[in-house]
Amino acid sequence: MDYLRYICTLSLFLVISPFSIADLPLTVEDLITDKGKIKLDTSLSYSNSDRQNLLTDEPIVIQTGESSFITLLTKFGEFKGNTDMLIVTLGVRYEVTPDAEVYTRVSYL
């Protein structure tokens, strides 16, 4: 399973890398949309979460004195979880006037 994940990740980088070109220096004029035109902003985010927890359940409360109590846990368990997430974001910009632009963004998990 890990082998397949590495192959998919490597393939994704090989597909996206040719489109990742940096034009330096970056100026404010490059970020602002031209009047009447639409700009698309895209992004990909990847997250991996590995968790391991101890679970307890069914407590018994025992009275040890007039106003003293102790709680004994009678059922124990272990939880292991591994979660992969890929988040795709698409944004759209449209310049209404030279001083104002409209921007909206949608994310898919």
Owning domain of residue 72: 22-108
Q: Is 39 among the domain residues? A: yes
- Spatial contact of 88 and 105, defined as CB atoms under 8 Å apart: no
Q: Is 29 among the domain residues? A: yes
The pLDDT, as a whole number, for residue 89 is 93
Evaluate if residue 32 carries a pLDDT over 80: no
User: H or E stretch including 63?
Assistant: strand 38-63
pLDDT class of 19 with cuts at 50, 70, 90: low
pLDDT class of 1 with cuts at 50, 70, 90: low
Mean pLDDT of the chain: 82
Give the pLDDT mean for 41-65. 89
Q: Is 94 among the domain residues? A: yes
Q: How far apart are CA 76 and CA 51, in angstroms?
A: 17
The count of structural domains within the chain is 1
Q: Of 86, 16, 9, 74, which Cα lies nearest the Cα of 47?
A: 86
The pLDDT, as a whole number, for residue 45 is 92
Q: Of 44, 75, 45, 73, which Cα lies nearest the Cα of 60?
A: 73
* Longest CA pairwise span in the chain (Å): 80
pLDDT class of 20 with cuts at 50, 70, 90: low
Strand partners, 42: 90
Q: Is 8 among the domain residues? A: no
Lookup: tokens for 60: 């018994």
